[in-house]
Structure 1
Amino acid sequence: MTTTLPTSFSSLPEDIILSCLARVSKFYRPTLSLVSKYFRSLVASPDLEATRSRNGITEDYLCVCLNVGSKPRWFTLAPFPQQQKLKPIPPYYKHPKSSTVVSIGSEIYIIGGSLHQKKGNRVLVLDCRSHLWRRLPNMRLARETPAADVIDGKIYVNGGSTSYKIENWGEVYDLKTQTWEPLLFTTLDLTTHKSVVPGKLVMGGKVYSMNDDLKISLEKNVCLVEIENMMCQISISKGMLVWYNPEENLGWSRVEGLEGVPRDPYFPGYLTSVASYDRGRRVTVWWKLIVSRCWPDWMESKTEIWCAEISFERRDLGKLWGFVEWSKNVFIFDGGVSSDFFLH
């Protein structure tokens, strides 16, 4: 009688092992790396990403930018409840402030902004899969908090410069030719962008005010969410989540429900930021809690960053209910952070 020993996973052909590992979420890779030196080398191998790409394997997760220690820092947030912690992305050594962000696939484009209180024309690209940075050709003009959107595979950028010349109002980047071209006000049809929110300019899911001189300004902490085939505005007002439907024009109203998240400005750690995702169907809300421990001769303070995912449902005219899909402390900082810590 002969005994057949079980085949170990590592004895399989490497292409089969890569095919199996490619189906495991990236957020489990640190754990996989602890299995063996062989697994650690496979996880770090570019062949693993090539296998995922070849087999069309993708996964959704959030990339967020926080103002940490007066410097913008990017993080990923896992889509799994047990893994919902912010994981830092290696920073770019000269990351601008007051930039505008758009995304194409897994890549995030950080457009313009200021560095050392000077407007810039740089465009950075962050690959959320590899966590690698690169630069695009510079824009024609330096721009701070411009309006930007991706239309038909091109990046349209408007406003944000100090120039009053109509020919400098905007510019467009062609991803195929990798060149910037001037964008006149008459070139881009703004009818659609201005019809979503009457009297406002909507680009990249953000809402901008625009005066007669074509100068634009971002309306901070306002995002668009599609609710039952209607585009509604969601915002934070005095620590509360509020909403507005331009079609009904009943004014801003408080979102009902929201069990499990701060709901008034007197709650410790009241809501400070809101951002839409899932193609504008849901939002995440953000707030912070200061946790202090005191000893006879010193005190220790830490800041907890909390996040919750909110879905919505219409009930009766003029009422919107919010439902907390999950709520969690996603990161802890030593010391404090500003109230406007959420950037993108």
Structure 2
Amino acid sequence: MSNAEEPPRKYRTNPPPPPPSLSSLPDEIVVKCLALVPRSYHLSLSWVSKHLRALLRSPELNLHKTSLHVCLEEGEDDDESFHWFTLSETSKTREYGLVSNPTLFPPHKYGSATVALGSKIFFIGGSTEPSTDLWILDTRSGTMTQGPSMSVPREQFDAAVGVIDGKIYVIGGEGFHGVEEEESQVEVFDLKTETWEVAGSEKMRNILRCSASVEGKLYMVDYEETNLYNPRECERERLVHMVSEKLSEGGRKDMLNDTAYIVCVVEDILFAFFRLNGILWFDTKLSVWRRLVGRDGKQLPSFFLHDTAMAENNGRLVVLWDEIEVDNTISKNVESMLVSLDRSGDKICGTIDWSGIVATVPYSFRFLHCLSVSD
């Protein structure tokens, strides 16, 4: 006779089967699934588990390798010399170093505004004087060709440059002076037709600015503010002065009275190196700058008063800076750190995978360009 407390068979229910999980699949199947996920989601996925993070950084998902090209300049005006290097990893010791790049670059084009697209570097405008020139370097063949001229002469430090939908956008740099806003023509270079076209005009301040393209918009970072240019007319949004003077940290918002020296984009996230605050990333949802912290919650090392360069390389943030010894005015070391990035909620955390000296150069050398190009 059955137990009186046992429910009738018709009322018995089996527990539901566990939901399917990627961890139950072979790694090669998981990698194929991850290959279909846009790279902009990789930071969030990397926090699911250590195993998934390792798969996201596997060679199978990083077929489009990039090389980091660094240009150091020496001297001023007519006495300038320029030296190009490539960041290289040794296969045996897993160390990194700057290797001299033998490519012959036209000297008068070094100081132009630059942007990398694929395996090519585009030198736009002039260095110390406005110019309409466009030069294109193919880093695979080492050949430099002159492209069609812009309609407006522009110079390096006042021009904002970015790539949106496979086209190069250029704003500002006409050479007018003063802090008041003046009209600046927006020019677009179509790589398919190899032609320039004017895409309207925007009011710009003629000041030193850093620029990069994120999420189909051109971001321009200058003192105390961050502006964006949106080329999509259907959104009816062109140049927007965002509330980017605020630095969000732990729920507190502080005034960010600081100047950005350099910017770069890694996994569709905008990073900038500020004079006082070090490395920050831009939260496009809240329009605030946030600190890049380690997994312990502490901010990554900053390099105040140092000459610094920064770029993306194979999905990691690469930072280079010079380390000067007090009594040595002949040479200096160039140091670097390679940082892997992970997203956790509303934070982005950085893990230093490697750091060390990558070169020893003359004391007078300083960073001019740091660009990531496809191999």
TM-score by length of 1: 0.59
CA contact (8 A) 1:236 1:274 kept: no
Alignment partner for residue 312 of structure 2, among 276, 281, 284?
Answer: 276
Matched residue type, 1:240 = G
Alignment partner for residue 63 of structure 1, among 62, 66, 69?
Answer: 69
Q: Which residue of 2 aligns with 1:179?
A: 195
Counterpart Cα distance in 2 of 1:194 and 1:179: 20
CA contact (8 A) 2:132 2:154 kept: yes
C-alpha deviation, 1:161, in angstroms: 1.4
C-alpha deviation, 1:111, in angstroms: 0.9
Q: Which residue of 2 aligns with 1:88?
A: 101
CA contact (8 A) 1:102 1:109 kept: yes
1:179/1:251 Cα in 2 relative to 1: closer, same or farther (>3 Å)? closer
> Which structure ranks higher in relative contact order (CA pairs < 8 Å, sequence separation ≥ 6)?
2
1:95/1:328 Cα in 2 relative to 1: closer, same or farther (>3 Å)? farther
Q: Which residue of 2 aligns with 1:330?
A: 358
Asked if 1:222 is matched to 2:232, the reply is no
SS of the equivalent of 1:78 reads strand
Q: Which residue of 2 aligns with 1:309?
A: 338
Post-superposition Cα deviations, 1:289-339, rounded to whole Å, max 9, x if no partner, equal 23577xxxxx7731111122111223465x54311222232222133334x
Matched residue type, 1:130 = S
C-alpha deviation, 1:142, in angstroms: 1.0
Q: Which residue of 2 aligns with 1:18?
A: none
Q: Which has the larger radius of gyration?
A: 2
Q: Percent of aligned positions with the same letter in both sequences?
A: 27
CA contact (8 A) 2:67 2:313 kept: no
C-alpha deviation, 1:194, in angstroms: 6.4
Q: Which residue of 2 aligns with 1:321?
A: 349
Asked if 1:75 is matched to 2:116, the reply is no
CA contact (8 A) 1:292 1:302 kept: no
C-alpha deviation, 1:84, in angstroms: 3.2
Alignment of 1:1-344 (within 5 A): 60-70=66-76, 71=80, 72-80=82-90, 81-82=94-95, 84-96=97-109, 98-114=111-127, 117-145=128-156, 146-162=159-175, 169-185=185-201, 192-193=216-217, 200-201=227-228, 220-226=261-267, 231-238=269-276, 240-248=278-286, 252-253=290-291, 255-256=293-294, 263-264=301-302, 272-278=308-314, 281-291=315-325, 301-315=330-344, 319-338=347-366, 341-344=367-370
Counterpart Cα distance in 2 of 1:292 and 1:91: 34
C-alpha deviation, 1:178, in angstroms: 3.3
Matched residue type, 1:283 = L
Q: Which runs of 5+ in 1 are unaligned?
A: 1-56, 204-208, 213-217, 294-298
1:79/1:107 Cα in 2 relative to 1: closer, same or farther (>3 Å)? farther
SS of the equivalent of 2:107 reads coil
C-alpha deviation, 1:101, in angstroms: 1.7
TM-score by length of 2: 0.54
Matched residue type, 1:61 = S
Q: Which has the higher strand share?
A: 2
C-alpha deviation, 1:128, in angstroms: 1.1
1:262/1:87 Cα in 2 relative to 1: closer, same or farther (>3 Å)? farther
CA contact (8 A) 1:236 1:272 kept: no
Q: Which runs of 5+ in 2 are unaligned?
A: 1-62, 203-213, 231-237, 242-258, 371-375
Matched residue type, 1:275 = A
C-alpha deviation, 1:96, in angstroms: 3.6
Post-superposition Cα deviations, 1:117-161, rounded to whole Å, max 9, x if no partner, equal 321121122221122222112222211232233344443322221
Matched residue type, 1:75 = F
Counterpart Cα distance in 2 of 1:179 and 1:133: 18
Number of matched pairs = 256
1:292/1:193 Cα in 2 relative to 1: closer, same or farther (>3 Å)? closer
Post-superposition Cα deviations, 1:174-219, rounded to whole Å, max 9, x if no partner, equal 3344333333249xxx99516999962269xxxxx9689xxxxx95
Counterpart Cα distance in 1 of 2:131 and 2:195: 17
Matched residue type, 1:282 = R
CA-atom RMSD in angstroms: 4.3
Counterpart Cα distance in 2 of 1:271 and 1:99: 19
Matched residue type, 2:336 = C
